[in-house]
Each structure stands twice: as C-alpha cells, then as structure tokens.
C-alpha cells in the first residue's frame, strides 16, 4: 500500500535527503506552495497517489522550503515530478492535469 509522505518545512531537509538516498523505487512531486501551476495540478497528484495503492513505489511530496539545497539547484520549474527506480529515472515539469498523464510522463 502506497503511503504518501509530505515534507513542508525547512527542518525536513535532512529527512528528505534520507528518503531520496533510499534505493527503493520512489515518485516525488517537488512543488512551491504559491505556484499557480502547482495548485492547479494538486488534484491530479492526489488522484495519482490514490491510484498507486498497490504499487511498489514510495510517494513523496516535497515543498520548495524542504528541498535540500543540492537538489533544489537541479530543479528548473515547479511542479517537477521525478521517478527513480532500477530501470532508471524520469523527470517532467508543468501542471499535469490527470493522474494517467503523470504515469505516462514518468514511464510507470
């Protein structure tokens, strides 16, 4: 069962770093609380999370202030969705409006 973890505080940076260093499969949404595209795509993200209930992926949601500095430097836009697993990684940006599009763009 997928359990979404959310990180929204600067003090969460070490926990986020640890989560991202874990070798198990993960899907992450990096977002900014005041970003219109992030706000518009929140429903799609929530639907995506619900659809991942029997998935082997961990699901993380990380607000800008909780993103470790070395990772934040690699993010060019919000929201950014990222997948990392043994098959490799995939990243996409922008307001994705349905959960199937998130799966498709991340090649899940």
Query: Domain segments of the chain: what residues?
Result: 4-105
pLDDT digits (tens, 9 = 90+) for 37-79: 999 999 999 999 999 988 899 999 999 999 999 999 889 999 9
Residue 6 has pLDDT above 70, yes or no: yes
Say what the pLDDT of residue 34 is: 96
**Mean pLDDT computed over 95-107:** 89
pLDDT bin (cut points 50, 70, 90) of residue 86 is confident
CA distance 47 to 51: 6
pLDDT digits (tens, 9 = 90+) for 69-84: 999 988 999 999 999 9
Say what the pLDDT of residue 94 is: 86
CA distance 85 to 33: 27
CA distance 85 to 13: 21
- Residue whose pair of structure tokens reads 């070395």 in the numeric block: 70
CA distance 75 to 28: 12
CATH of domain 4-105: 3.40.30.10
CA distance 70 to 75: 10
Instruction: Please give the angle made by the CA atoms of 83, 84 and 89, to the nearest 5 degrees.
Output: 80
**Mean pLDDT computed over 86-101:** 87
**Mean pLDDT computed over 83-97:** 87
């Amino acid at each position: 069962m997928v359990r979404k973890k959310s990180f929204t505080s600067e003090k969460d940076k070490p926990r986020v770093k640890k989560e991202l260093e874990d070798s198990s499969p993960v899907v992450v949404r990096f977002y900014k609380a005041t970003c219109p595209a992030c706000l518009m795509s929140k429903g799609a993200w929530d639907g995506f999370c619900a659809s991942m209930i029997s998935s082997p992926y961990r699901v993380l949601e990380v607000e800008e202030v909780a993103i470790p500095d070395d990772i934040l430097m690699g993010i060019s836009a919000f929201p950014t969705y990222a997948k990392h697993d043994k098959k490799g990684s995939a990243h996409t940006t922008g307001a994705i409006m349905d959960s199937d599009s998130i799966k498709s763009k991340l090649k899940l």
